[in-house]
Chain A
Amino acid sequence: MSALFQDRRAVLLLGLLAILALAPLAAGDYLLSILITVLLQAYLGMSWNVMMGFAGQFSLGHALYVGLGAYAGGALFVHYGTPPWIGAIAGMAVSAAVGAVIGTLGFRFKVMGVYFALLTIAFAEFTRVLFDHWGWVGASSGLFLPPAPNNSPDNLWLLRGSTTMFYYVILGMTAAAFWFSRALLMRRIGYYWQAIREDQDAADALGIDVFRNKMIAVLISAAMTSLGGVFLAFFNNNLYPESIFSMHRSIELMLGTIIGGIGTLFGPILGAVVLTALGELLTELGAHIGIDGVKQIAYGICLMLILVLKPGGLWPWLRKLLRLEGDGR
């Protein structure tokens, strides 16, 4: 365990971080905004991974927490000028509370697997409908964050500023999420989650508090995800219930982690890189060929190929290839 990040993994990680930290020196705004997309996807994937990958609880409605965070941060800023980091606390609290309701319903009444996933979708959907009709947050016509005046300096506290600033913020968030995930796995709770994931009955029989530990996973995952939502709101400056709470977002959010390797630490990052690179590449290709829908079809085929050839995700396979020793994480 203690050897988890000794040697080559640590080198790889620090190298990656150094390259990413220096990227704005070389990259233009376009490339930076792509990198932001990658990092946000990685961040959200890690957040989902805590619940699904670590604790084995399938959520198909994580857009719910993205939306709650985004709206909490955005609406408080628009109405009261509340700084996003304060708004984020509200967003994380609300998300954790809603997660607690879903978790209680699911875990107390033994709603498991697919049925639990359906429960998470239901909550995301009716929250979307609620926001669609809630005037204070702009209802279905959307909520718009006032942009910073031109040429004003970056304001990290209010999250108003350049693409470069947003890039560093999401880089910091992703690095923190990685470190946090790793810390969780190395602690006792990481083992409890693994036990619950592999055999819930056995974990219960050994005296592990299954309900409590699953609940902690939900609360952490919901709060982390909603912080990503706050970032999204301030980066995009516009929020529509239809897009932020959409099923599409929930699926997109977990896709990177599935491709990269559920339950692994590097999986969400690798998955986000691969998916975004694939998307960009196929967009180029589609533009050359000039037939509508080619991109989507090719994208789908690529995802299927990856899942058929490497069902555990790309990272476990790559890890073996690079001879990075580890305990399977």
Chain B
Amino acid sequence: MLDVRDLDLFYGDAQALDGVSLQVAEGEVVAIIGANGAGKTSLIRAIAGMKKPARGTITFDGHDITGRVSSIICDLGVAQVAEGRQIFPSMSVAENLEMGAVLPRARTKRKETLERCYEMFPKLKVRSDQAAGTLSGGEQQMLAIGRCLMGQPRLMMFDEPSLGLAPAVVGEMFKIIKELHAQGMTVILVEQNVSASLKLADRGYVLENGRVVLSGTGAGLLNDDGVRQAYLGL
């Protein structure tokens, strides 16, 4: 479904990605792990069309989306739940969700999608008229996921979804991703919480200094000595 090949990406002179290749098949959950600054967010931004790569190609469903603008990529069905949630604080919960469905393809179905969102996150329905900035951290994360779903994505990319959340809420987060997976959603998951994300993932990639240094099944990586030492402190 998604095919990334030999991606190079720079911020000024600093190279964030160096020949990164990865594949994601339909219905898969793929985890991307790595230390801070390894290039995880850069990779997501490149796929989402928010940062142009210097070299390499990104293909989604047979469409070359390398360097295309984000609205085109979104419309093809690639969406992201960005790091730090990025909700619109002074808009109401309902308005935030509506903003997820701005593209023509999603807009026509927004009523049904909204109902589905509220079914999945009943708390959002209760608070639909409340300003999003007044929600708790966990609720804001649910809102960010709901808003992403409003765009009718086929591939969802999560960037550090558990960052700054209370431990109980983190568990809920992973349950939601599992549920989405069960419904057939394709997921790319970037997480600090390495063990939880590898347990959930079908496959994973390890990024170091902008390069893929290791890849394999989730279980395989979880049992890899290098991964255990570097990321799990075992």
Contact A206 B100 (CB under 8 A): yes
Contacts of A192 in B (CB 8 A): 102
Within 8 A of A (CB), among B50-83: 50, 69-71, 73-75, 79-80, 82
Task: Choose the segment among B17-25, B88-96, B166-174, B211-219 that binds chain A (4+ C-beta atoms closer than 8 Å).
Answer: B88-96
Q: Do residues A202 and B88 form an inter-chain contact, with CB atoms below 8 A?
A: yes
List chain A residues, Cβ under 8 A from B2: none
**Interface code B93-135, partner A: CB below 8 Å = 1, 0 otherwise?**
0010011101100000000000000000000000000010000
Shortest B64–chain A CB gap in Å is 18
B189 contacts across to A, CB distance below 8 A: none
Q: Are A198 and B147 in contact (CB under 8 A)?
A: no
Bound complex: CA A201 to CA B87 (Å): 10
* A206 pairs with B89, CB closer than 8 A: no
**A185 shortest CB reach to chain B, Å:** 12
Interface centre among A194, A198, A201, A205 (most CB of B within 10 A): A205
Residues of B within 8 A of A201 (CB): 50, 82, 86
Instruction: Judge whether B188 is part of the interface by a CB distance below 8 angstroms.
Output: no
| CB within 8 Å for A209 and B71 given contacts A199-B86, A201-B82, A201-B86 | yes
Give the number of residues in B that approach A within 8 Å (Cβ atoms).
Answer: 27
Q: Are A207 and B151 in contact (CB under 8 A)?
A: yes
Partner of A205, one of B75, B80, B95: B80
Please give, as numbers and ranges, the residues of chain A lying within 8 Å of B74 by CB-CB distance. Answer: 205-207
- Asked if A208 is at the interface (CB within 8 A of a chain B CB), the reply is yes
Q: Is the CB of B86 within 8 A of A202?
A: yes
Picked from A188, A191, A207, A328, the residue with its CB within 8 Å of the CB of B71 is: A207
Is the pair A208, B91 in contact by a Cβ cutoff of 8 Å? Answer: no
Whether A205 contacts B86 by the Cβ 8 Å rule is: yes
Tell me the smallest distance from the CB of A48 to a CB of chain B, in Å.
Answer: 20
Q: Which of A191, A327, A328 contacts B99 (CB 8 A)?
A: A191
- Cα–Cα, bound, A206→B69 (Å): 11
Report the separation of the CA atoms of residues A327 and B92 in the bound assembly, to the nearest whole angstrom: 9
The reply to whether the CB of A284 lies closer than 8 angstroms to some CB of chain B is no
Chain A residues numbered 186-235 whose CB sits less than 8 Å from any CB in chain B: 188, 191-192, 194-195, 198-199, 201-209
Distance of B113 from chain A, by nearest CB (Å):
14
Q: B91 to chain A: which residues have CB within 8 Å?
A: 191, 194-195, 198
Q: Which of A204, A206, A209, A327 contacts B147 (CB 8 A)?
A: A206
Of residues B99, B103, B131, which shows the largest number of chain A Cβ atoms within 10 Å of its Cβ?
Answer: B99
A13-72: which have CB < 8 Å to B?
A: none
B70 lies within 8 A of A204 (CB)? yes
Q: Is residue B142 within 8 Å, beta carbon to beta carbon, of the partner chain?
A: no
Cross-chain contact of B88 among A194, A204, A327 (Cβ < 8 A): A194
Residues from chain B with Cβ under 8 Å of A207 in the complex: 70-71, 73-75, 102-103, 151
| Alpha-carbon distance between A206 and B80 when the two chains are bound, in angstroms | 8
Q: By the criterion CB–CB under 8 Å, are B50 and A206 in contact? A: no
Q: What is the minimal beta-carbon distance from B192 to any residue of chain A, in angstroms?
A: 20
Do the beta carbons of A206 and B99 come within 8 Å of each other?
A: yes
Residues of B within 8 A of A203 (CB): 99
A327 to B87, CA, bound (A): 17
**A328 interface neighbour in B80, B90, B102, B103, Cβ under 8 Å:** B90
B48 at the interface (CB under 8 A from A): yes
Complex alpha-carbon distance, A207 and B86, angstroms: 14
Residues of B within 8 A of A205 (CB): 48, 50, 70, 74, 79-80, 82, 86
Q: How far is the CB of A191 from chain B (nearest CB, A)?
A: 6
Q: Which residues of the other chain, B, contact A191 by a CB distance below 8 angstroms?
A: 91, 95, 98-99
Given contacts A198-B89, A206-B74, 19 further A-B contacts (CB under 8 A): A191-B95, A191-B99, A194-B88, A194-B90, A195-B91, A195-B99, A199-B88, A201-B50, A202-B88, A204-B50, A205-B79, A205-B82, A206-B99, A206-B100, A206-B151, A207-B71, A207-B75, A208-B99, A209-B71
6 nearest interchain CB pairs? A207-B74, A202-B86, A207-B71, A198-B88, A207-B103, A199-B86
30 contacts between A and B (CB under 8 A): A188-B102, A191-B91, A192-B102, A194-B90, A195-B91, A195-B99, A198-B89, A198-B90, A199-B86, A199-B87, A199-B88, A201-B50, A201-B86, A202-B82, A202-B87, A202-B88, A203-B99, A205-B79, A205-B86, A206-B79, A207-B70, A207-B71, A207-B73, A207-B75, A207-B102, A207-B151, A208-B102, A209-B69, A209-B71, A328-B131
